[in-house]
Amino acid sequence: MTDHMTSIVRTTAAPAAIGPYSQAVIANGMVWCSGQVAINPSTGTLVPGDVTDQTIQVLANLAAVLAAAGCDARDVVKCTVYLRSMDDFAAMNAEYAKMFTQDPPARATVEASRLPKDALVEIDCVALIGHARRLSHR
């Protein structure tokens, strides 16, 4: 049996977990980021505004967790986006495209009837440590 090493990612630059889970876990060269909603890490409260405002905060939170794991958006290989309403898809997508400008990751987007803290959007992701550096050397 192979011993798989894991490590927990923690950063104060993103909201603390609001339940029994970690902000992210590193295992076998992969970073598994928990879903982020639009909680401002300084105040601990959901940012006011529409799905655009919330998506900006969600992506900032994900970027902070990725940075704490030694990655950035270029290392992300898969995202899942949860929207309270699929009517918000275009607005969310416009902000999402600003983070993933080149060779965007695979993605699924689903409508969820309710998200934590009654958020409008939640996004999780999986990244490969050093993925962007390997791509740049192809």
How far apart are the C-alpha atoms of 54 and 125, rounded to whole Å?
Answer: 17
Domain that holds residue 36: 6-136
Q: Is 51 among the domain residues?
A: yes
Helix 51-68 vs helix 89-99: crossing angle, to nearest 10:
30
Tell me the mean pLDDT in the region 111-122: 97
User: The CATH number of the domain where 103 resides is what?
Assistant: 3.30.1330.40
pLDDT-above-70 percentage for the chain: 92
**pLDDT of 90 strictly over 60:** yes
Q: Is 1 among the domain residues?
A: no
> Which amino acid belongs to residue 37?
V
pLDDT band at 130, cuts 50/70/90?
confident
Per the structure, the count of domains in the chain is 1
What's the pLDDT tens digit per position in 34-79?
A: 999 999 999 999 999 999 999 999 999 999 999 999 999 999 999 9
pLDDT band at 137, cuts 50/70/90?
very low
Closest Cα to residue 67, out of 131, 9, 134?
A: 9
**pLDDT of 132 strictly over 70:** no
- Looking at residue 95, its pLDDT comes to 98
- Looking at residue 136, its pLDDT comes to 52
How far apart are the C-alpha atoms of 133 and 58, rounded to whole Å?
Answer: 25
What's the pLDDT tens digit per position in 117-126?
A: 999 999 999 9
**pLDDT of 138 strictly over 60:** no
Side by side, the strands of the sheet bearing 24-27 are 6-9, 24-27, 30-36, 121-128, 76-83, 106-111
